[in-house]
Amino acid sequence: MDLVRDLARAARTRVRTTVVENASTIIELDRGRVVDATATAGATGRGTVGFVMYVVVYLARTIWGQIAVAVGTIVLGFAMGTTCARATRSDGAKWMRTAMKKRMGRQATREVTWIEKKRAERGLGGEDEDEITFHEDFKETFSTHAPIWTKDSSYSRAHWLNRVIDGAWPYIDTGVSKTVKESVEPILRELLPTWVTWIGFEKFTLGPRAPTITGIRSHQSHMENSILDIELSWASDCDVVVTIYVFGVRFPVTVRGLQIKMLAQVTFDPLVDVIPCLGALEACLMEMPEILDFRLFIPGGVDLLALPFVHRTVLKIVRQSIGEMLLYPYKLHIPIMPASGIQAASTGMMRIRFLNGKAFYKRRNYSKLSRKRGKKNSRFTQMLKTDSYFIKYWTREQRQLSTPPRSGETPSWEGTADAFVLCDRDTPLYFRLLKEGADRISNYGEIQIMCGEIADRGGGKVVIELPFIEPSFYKEECPLEYLAAADGYSYEEIMDRWAEITAWHAKADAGAVQARTKYFYRCLEEMDRRKGVISKYRHPTLALELEYIDTGAPDELDDGDENYELGVLTVEVKEADNLLRVDSQLPNPMATLRCAKQEYCTQRILKSSHPKWNERYVFYNVVAEIDPLEIEITGFEKSLGRVVIDTTLVRLNGLISDRFKLQDVSKGEVLLELSYTPMAAKKTIARP
């Protein structure tokens, strides 16, 4: 701003000088009456150029002075800052060295604190160490009382279920107390000796504290059931008073302070399609309770378990009784529905694999249209070929299963999982063809075949094609008409005609069933002659792979021996690692699985020491105690190792996924996932 003001002041001064000079010249011209125009013009030009030069020189001097001042200031500040920084750094380093020497001297001479002494005695190390070691007693105590989900990731926490149990516990307490009194007291009174007059529960309450579920997990099952493993902890405030009258003398026994931690298995078997959908449940213990303790009082307020040697003896008797009644495989059966919601136990099982369908467009409407007109309607046929179908199948009316929907003239179910249904040799197996979205009104044909016919075709897999025949396809139309009173018929004539029509329909239904069965078996005969292929499809046809599995007693057991349990063993062969080379070449490995007189082979992987199969196989009729699982891997007709697995371990654990080292060879291992499920026709095995 000062610069601008100086420039403006200089410009005004110069202008005033020029104006004065011009005015003086004019006065002189007036006085002398002589004007030299050329001289005046030159003087004016020289005055303008001089003014411009003056402004330029002034600006240059001013700007150069400011630049010189700025540069000098920066250089001076940089020099002073460098000098101060070096001096400060030198003083700081000297002060830091002095302070460290003083601190080290104090640490050398200071006394050890009580906390440091205790940490040194316990071997916890210095102050900077974060690692803490625990004593074995603490580890054992923590392992006993910690929830199972902290040790096994397959278990889930159940906070929501515990909240539900806490809210319903007062009502559960009342209901359980009443049920126990009504069910247990009659049993106790039947076992009374003659010198005991009466026995019963004088008081029975589980206390205000509900049990806590500390972990829960579920198991996959191929049967009509659902299996849960539940870890339960309960520090109960129960108060149970059992009163015994001996020769008229009252003798009460009180049980209090029950503490228990156990791993139980609850099986909902079977699952039915009728509310409440649970036929019954079976409960058992997978192992002896980790914690089991209680207090037993006799008259006089004496705690019987506080006496020497009595506590251990009583607990031993209780544990032995629990093992004989509730330890797996012994189970407590609790019916929920009448007859437990199940029919009589089955003696067999049918494995069903759906392959494909043929001529599904030749269903009822198309067949009738073709028969009546004698020719095919192309538009109608194309419309029927685009529909989507699924199949319902069952051996028990209350347990119907269905396939995934498929569309097209020749739908395929390749790749879908095998289905299993319980059956006997004289049980019919039903299949029904339905249209997706209209399953209540669309019955496009049924298949009915006896399971014994599949069993009589020999053991193993049977591939057949079965035609869907509509129930009304062979039924003739009734020529009789109903009579009405409005047409002048009497009541007796109307009822007689109604009885004639009913009898005619019954006869027509029987004739249709006979004709349908005759055609069905004619198709089977043709299929047998042509080795499983039907030459001409008049009806929708389904290709199936069926296998009947007898779940009776194994040959190794006597007919009168009932102490056995049959199960289903599922084996998933995932991969093998580090297999041996054969003659310095990579092998072509293939795994062979054997169990319970059944044998399966995986596909052969070419030139690989790390084959990946990811194939799943199911063994039936397995008795865990006498049927081990044997897996042998071969390559170039040479054994690359074998594994023998005790099936009892799989039954006790439910599910095992691990790598097993190959035997009889120097290296190699195989990754397996094993699961065991009890079958419906189950018998218990006495534990060793």
Residue 669 has a pLDDT of 92
Check whether 180 has a pLDDT greater than 70: yes
Q: Comparing 319 with 121, which gets the higher pLDDT?
A: 319
397-424 confidence digits (pLDDT tens):
767 888 888 887 788 888 787 888 878 8
Residue 31 CB contacts under 8 Å (≥ 6 apart), including other chains: none
Inform me whether the pLDDT recorded for 92 exceeds 70.
no
pLDDT at site 87: 67
Q: Please name every residue paired with 262 in a beta bridge, in sequence order, or none if there are none.
A: 232
Query: Measured in whole angstroms, how far is the alpha carbon of residue 446 from the centre of its chain?
Result: 36
Position 201 pLDDT exceeds 70: yes
pLDDT at 394 over 80: yes
* Exposed / middle / buried, residue 541 (Cβ in 10 Å: 0-12, 13-18, 19+): buried
Residues linked to residue 250 through DSSP beta bridges, in sequence order: 245
- Residue 644: pLDDT above 90? yes
Q: Hey, which of 31-35, 178-182, 327-331, 601-605 has the most confident mean pLDDT?
A: 601-605
Mean pLDDT over residues 302-315, rounded? 84
The model's confidence at residue 108, banded by pLDDT at 50, 70 and 90, is: low
Residue 330 has pLDDT above 90, yes or no: no
Cβ–Cβ < 8 Å for 205, 173: yes
d(CA 198, CA 186): 11
Mean local confidence (pLDDT), 370-389:
52
In the block, which residue shows the tokens 């940089």?
Answer: 78
Q: Cα(first)–Cα(last) distance of the chain, in Å?
A: 111
Residues 159-172: pLDDT tens digits?
A: 888 899 999 999 98
Q: What mean pLDDT is predicted for residues 294-319?
A: 85
Least confident range of 80-84, 116-120, 388-392: 116-120
> Given this model, what pLDDT does residue 54 score?
78
Lowest mean pLDDT among 106-110, 199-203, 417-421: 106-110
| AA identity, residue 215 | G
Reported as half-sphere exposure (CB side, CA atoms, 13 A), residue 73 has a value of 6
Lowest mean pLDDT among 368-382, 432-446, 521-535: 368-382
Report pLDDT for 157: 85
Amino acid at 406: R
DSSP letter assigned to residue 637: T
Nearest to 451 by CA among 476, 495, 421: 421
Q: What is the pTM of this model?
A: 0.43
Closest of 206, 216, 211 to residue 286, by C-alpha: 216
- The residue assigned the tokens 């009168």 is 560
Q: Note the pLDDT tens digit of each residue in 41-64.
A: 444 455 677 777 777 777 777 777
Output the average pLDDT for the chain.
76
Tell me the mean pLDDT in the region 605-626. 86
| Token output for 452 | 């014994």
Q: How confident is the model at residue 531 (pLDDT cuts 50, 70, 90)?
A: low
Average pLDDT value for residue range 203-229: 84
DSSP β-bridge partners for residue 241: 203, 254
* Max mean pLDDT range (131-145, 361-375, 492-506): 492-506
Residue 222 has pLDDT above 70, yes or no: no
Mean predicted confidence (pLDDT) in 500-516: 82
- What pLDDT sits at residue 106? 56
Counting residues of the chain whose pLDDT is more than 90, the rounded percentage is 9
State how far the alpha carbon of 45 is from the alpha carbons of 38, 41, 48, 348, 654, in Å. 11, 6, 5, 131, 117
